[in-house]
A and B are shown apart, each in its own frame.
Chain A
Amino acid sequence: AQSVSQHNHHVILSEAASLELGCNYSYGGTVNLFWYVQYPGQHLQLLLKYFSGDPLVKGIKGFEAEFIKSKFSFNLRKPSVQWSDTAEYFCAVTVSGGYQKVTFGIGTKLQVIP
């Protein structure tokens, strides 16, 4: 069974700082990878996804993530955070093909200080 590790549970940054949130998964086969975000008081929503092709994927609001297969990683990055990026970020993985059970990480709370 696959699992997901998010190493930073709570991150505090000043506006304009760069962001990198770590995500590692454990599964030996082909995976689909996701980052979901939950802004305060809002639903969980998709930020970006990787299925295949270019390992550098771009999502909404200037976020990007890089899939590094050799490291089983899918880290989320943003060059310059804004106060509005304050949210909780969840990495998730499914196994490609057939029944695709989704496994979520524990989440990282990002607080951006103006």
Chain B
Amino acid sequence: EAGVAQSPRYKIIEKRQSVAFWCNPISGHATLYWYQQILGQGPKLLIQFQNNGVVDDSQLPKDRFSAERLKGVDSTLKIQPAKLEDSAVYLCASSSDNTIQYFGAGTRLSVL
């Protein structure tokens, strides 16, 4: 069974630029999550999708972050414009039953 795929693995941008991350969940998993993990902290949920609908985006900074999940499969997370404090690892996870989550390798973002 293929795991959760994320790209790119690494991204370096300057502040005020925009960036997008892509996630392909495990086939058949209805629930998809995006997390932000800042160095030295645990993952923080940014947004959770159930199929292509948003279940929770209470911690998503909506003035600069956006996410979509077209057709209930792949998802993209965008930051525009990026700030220095957005430097983090962005993790995507999926679940078939909203209990056990399977994580991708993450995208490490450095904002200079």
CB-CB < 8 A to A105: which residues of B?
42
Judge whether A101 and B56 touch: CB under 8 Å: yes
Interface size on B (CB < 8 Å)? 24
B111 at the interface (CB under 8 A from A): no
For the residues of A in contact with B, the DSSP-based class is strand
Q: Which residues of A contact B93 (CB under 8 A)?
A: 44
Q: A4-B42, A43-B104 are in contact. List 13 more A-B contacts (CB 8 A).
A: A6-B42, A43-B4, A45-B102, A90-B42, A90-B43, A99-B55, A99-B56, A99-B98, A104-B43, A106-B40, A106-B41, A106-B42, A107-B42
Q: Please give the residue numbers on chain A whose beta carbons come within 8 Å of chain B beta carbons, in ascending order.
A: 4, 6, 32, 34, 36, 43-46, 49, 51, 90, 94, 99-107
